[in-house]
């Protein structure tokens, strides 16, 4: 906000602030936090804006609230928003936001959900979704639902979790939460990540193995890694070839960790039995995606990141961020 003449009063500053909340897919953000406590103008936008419409729609807004990795705000778009002074993103990382450009321009960037703060609901949402996909694959829930509606009784045989082996690619805060349910269902749990030690795995209740052993021995391989240059494409054609033909792959982390072209080929050829996917290279998943035509996939639209409880927690933190910035005491600063 730029002012000339006499210093503005706090009330005048607040009246000048305009906040745009983007990607409110379910049109409920206004109900999940006390936005009125800010005393500023807040506008909510659903998914209907196209990339071309964003500059005009957001003209005059000095504050953006972004749902992480939905709409991309890269330099070309940000350059068309000259009034921008603050961006608040859910999460403390946002790969679809050009943070370096904003830092160089002097735009403050804040986030939500720092480790140890407000993380329980996100953990629960992601882990529950991973297990929903595992159950759907083992018990053939979507396939049998479609079959029974078509008049077919017992189109195939489900498999039991008891006695099966869960392989965890990543045993951090999320991966470790998979162990308890697996043990309760009578599953053996093995794990691998680049820096995982046998001692750390044992503490979490899993057995540390090599990457090749993880691929070869898992009845279901569940991915729980952060996307980075080191993990991008970590599961490709060679890795899928090492998996059992009866094995399932579940990804609730990030799409590009798995080579999607290689995965489609493996699923189509039967080199693995199926996949449960919540994340994709491009989101929303394009209407012409080959994944949509495969019978041995269970697909969900990046639900692991969101739940009513989780969204409420994130938006409450967004309001905290905004209030702190308006006081001149920004918190959870990314840039």
Show which residues are catalytic. Answer: 254, 283, 302
DSSP-assigned letters across all residues of 248-301:
EEEE-S-GGGB-HHHHHHHHHHTSSSEEEES--SSSSPPTT-GGGG-TTEEE-S
Q: In terms of Cα–Cα distance, which of 177, 69, 65, 66 is closest to 119?
A: 177
Q: Distance between CA 217 and CA 250 in Å, rounded? A: 15
Task: Give ∠ CA 176-277-187 in degrees, rounded to 5.
Answer: 40
| Collapsed DSSP state (helix, strand, coil) of residue 92 | coil
d(CA 110, CA 81) in angstroms, rounded, equals 18
Please report how the helices 141-149 and 120-138 are oriented relative to each other, as an axis angle in degrees rounded to 10. Answer: 60
Q: Give 48-63 as a DSSP string.
A: ---TTTHHHHTTT--E
Angle, alpha carbons 14-18-22 (nearest 5°)? 140
């Amino acid at each position: 906000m730029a002012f000339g003449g006499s210093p503005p009063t706090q009330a005048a500053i607040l009246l000048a602030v305009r906040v745009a909340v983007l990607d409110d897919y379910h049109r409920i953000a206004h109900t999940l936090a006390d936005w009125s406590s800010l005393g500023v103008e807040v506008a909510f936008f659903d998914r209907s804006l196209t990339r071309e419409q964003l500059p005009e729609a957001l003209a005059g807004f000095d504050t953006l609230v972004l749902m992480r990795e939905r709409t991309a705000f890269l330099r070309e778009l940000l350059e068309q928003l000259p009034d921008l002074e603050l961006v608040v993103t859910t999460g403390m990382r946002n790969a679809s936001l050009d943070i370096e450009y904003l830092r160089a321009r002097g735009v403050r960037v804040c986030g939500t959900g720092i480790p140890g703060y407000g993380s329980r609901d996100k953990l629960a949402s992601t882990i529950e979704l991973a297990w929903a996909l595992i159950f759907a694959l083992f018990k053939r829930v979507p396939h049998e639902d479609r079959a029974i509606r078509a008049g077919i009784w017992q189109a195939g045989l489900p498999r039991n979790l008891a006695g099966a082996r869960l392989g965890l690619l990543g045993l951090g805060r999320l991966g470790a939460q998979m162990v308890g349910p697996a043990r309760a269902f009578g599953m053996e749990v093995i794990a691998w990540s680049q820096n995982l030690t046998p001692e750390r795995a044992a503490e979490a209740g899993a057995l540390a193995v090599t990457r090749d052993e993880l691929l070869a021995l898992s009845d279901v391989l569940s991915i729980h890694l952060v996307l980075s240059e080191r993990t991008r494409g970590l599961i490709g054609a060679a890795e899928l070839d090492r998996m059992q033909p009866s094995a399932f792959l579940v990804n609730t982390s990030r799409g590009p960790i798995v080579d999607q072209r290689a995965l489609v080929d493996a699923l189509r050829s039967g080199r693995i039995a199926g996949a449960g996917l919540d994340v994709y290279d491009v989101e929303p998943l394009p209407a012409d995606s080959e994944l949509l035509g495969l019978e041995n996939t269970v697909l969900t639209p990046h639900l692991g990141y969101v739940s009513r409880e989780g969204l409420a927690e994130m938006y409450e933190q967004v309001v905290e961020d905004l209030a702190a910035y308006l006081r001149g005491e920004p918190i959870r600063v990314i840039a």
